[in-house]
Amino acid sequence: MAQTFQNIRGTFDILPEASTTDGTTIAGSAAWQFVESTIRRVLSRFNLVEIRTPILEDTELIARGVGQHTDIVTKEMFAFERGEDHYVLRPEITAPVMRAYLQHHLQQRGGAQKLFYIGPCFRAERPQKGRYRQFHQFGCEVIGAEDPRADVEVIASMLAVYEELGIGRNELRINTLGSPETRPVYVDALKAHFEPHRARLSDVSRNRLDTNPLRILDTKEGNERELVAKAPRLIDFVDEESRAHYDQVKTLLDDLDIVYTEDPFLVRGLDYYTHTAFELENPALGAQRALAGGGRYDLLARDLGASRPVGAVGFAAGIERLFLALQAQNVVLPGTPVPDVFLVALGDVAARWVFREAQRLRREGLRVALDLKGRSMKAQMREADRQKAPSTLIVGDDELAAGVVQMKNMGSGDQIEIPISEVNAYVRGLRTETTTR
């Protein structure tokens, strides 16, 4: 057999029905639409408005935004050059949104800019369940607000999406990363802590000790976790202002009855964070348990060339992982939509009439199916059944000449004859709010 093409490993097709790729169930397109519209609905309650930025960005934007020494930039970028230009398929959307904010002077819209997004991201990671090379994020960025209420609103908007979808048993962890002024003192303390154990560290951590010691706190290696547990804690190094901000965040979370645990070693995998950092985990997801994460990034604007810092905070969440959490809780998602009516034709004249009638009914807003393969009436009825059409309109040449058609209720099997002049009114009564199979 001639060789056909396959999708690239770590990417997947979203088909009309749920499908399985590499042992993982990928939800069908109707389920994606349902989840996406839920996200939009819930985030708009927070008065967030959508922003869409390009998938292609300047590599330098991501390198400077996310951080030169992060895994994302050193190992995971899909980057390429064309002539003098360096492009990257965006691995995340925070730096792009900040770029757009600065480029378009969005502060001129007034107040804090509250933006949300949904879209694909790309990271050249080793694919496995819950970790892909093309994945989808939704998230929000609140830019131009230093107040801790912005941090807590961001967290609340993130949680609201999971709550609306019925995904419970998530764990929210929070920490403060302090200010950039105190960070070097903490990093020195970390270095001093790990240096005597250099020989025991993995190659990755040894490298991080020289380039980005904070990242060692992210290690998953068992014996290194013990060392991490005894490491100095960030909270003991942060200044008064940062501590006050963190305390207010916690108070406001309490005010909203949001349950959290403090994790003094939560540092996140991107370099732009200052003050608040948080992660939402779902233990049912195993290794890729991080549903979402975010924090404050007051220096990103300056890192991207702005003349002064801009207070900003946001979160991003993986949609594939959200689906895994839905599956873990056996939440039933919408399936493929069914047509309101299936038009069955018997004879050439009837086939032409049906073709025109379908167009008329679609203008009325109905979801109309008909045969496009020239099949027998029996085969058309079978197809209507397969598509779970609740009703069929059966039209024959002779009946047409007599000015009547048959309407069949596929559930009860009842069939009635109606005059052609009444078809429109009758079928309009069949319209449903997207029934699904």
Interacting residues toward ligand HAM by CB under 6 A? 92, 94, 123, 125, 131-132, 135, 137, 139, 141, 269-270, 290-295, 297, 314-318, 320-321
DSSP symbols for 342-393: EEEEESHHHHHHHHHHHHHHHHTT--EEE-SS---HHHHHHHHHHTT-SEEE
Comparison of 36 and 125: residue with beta carbon closer to ligand HAM: 125
Nearer of residues 141 and 340 to ligand HAM, judged by Cβ: 141
| Neighbour-count burial of 185, counting CB atoms closer than 10 A to its CB (0-12 exposed, 13-18 middle, 19+ buried) | middle
Residue 98, Cα to own-chain centre: how many angstroms? 19
CB of 421 to ligand HAM, least distance (A): 56
Hey, what's the torsion of the CAs at 351, 356, 359, 364, to 10 degrees?
Answer: -110
- Nearest to ligand HAM of 170, 380 (CB atom): 170
Distance CA(405)–CA(269), nearest Å, equals: 65
Q: Which is nearest to 165 in space by CA: 341, 390, 358, 328?
A: 328
Q: How far is CA 68 from CA 60, 110, 257, in A?
A: 10, 33, 38
At 154, which helix (H) or strand (E)? helix 148-164
* Residue number closest to ligand HAM, CB atom: 318
For 227, the token pair is 């060392």
C-alpha span between 1 and 196 (Å, rounded): 61
Quick one: 151 or 224, whose CB is closer to ligand HAM?
151
Whole-angstrom distance, CA of residue 369 vs CA of residue 361? 10
Q: Are 340 and 384 in contact (CB under 8 A)?
A: no
Nearest to 161 by CA among 318, 53, 312: 318
Reduced to 3 states (helix: H, G, I; strand: E, B; else coil), residue 192 is helix
In the complex, minimum distance from the CB of residue 31 to ligand HAM, in angstroms, rounded to a whole number: 17
Question: Number of H helices and number of E strands within the chain?
Answer: 15, 18
In the complex with ligand HAM, which residue's Cβ is closer, 92 or 271? 92
CB of 298 to ligand HAM, least distance (A): 11
Nearer to ligand HAM among residue 67 and residue 293 (C-beta): 293
Contact yes or no for 144/113 (Cβ under 8 A): yes
> For residues 125 and 103, what is the distance between their CA atoms, to the nearest angstrom?
30
Nearest to ligand HAM of 292, 389 (CB atom): 292
Shortest Cβ 117–ligand HAM spacing (Å):
10
Give whichever of 186 and 315 is closer to ligand HAM, judged by the CB atom.
315
In the complex with ligand HAM, which residue's Cβ is closer, 94 or 205? 94
Q: How near is the Cβ of 435 to ligand HAM at its closest, in Å?
A: 32
- Least distance to ligand HAM, CB of residue 272, Å: 8
Shortest CB 119 distance to ligand HAM, Å:
12
What is the smallest separation between the CB atom of 230 and ligand HAM, expressed in angstroms?
A: 26
Q: Give the residue among 237, 248, 144, 259 at the shortest CA–CA distance from 187.
A: 237
Tell me the closest approach of the beta carbon of residue 46 to ligand HAM, in angstroms.
Answer: 15
Q: How far is the CB of 241 from ligand HAM (least distance, A)?
A: 20
Dist. CA 97–CA 40, nearest whole Å:
17
Q: Which is nearer to ligand HAM, 101 or 132 (CB)?
A: 132
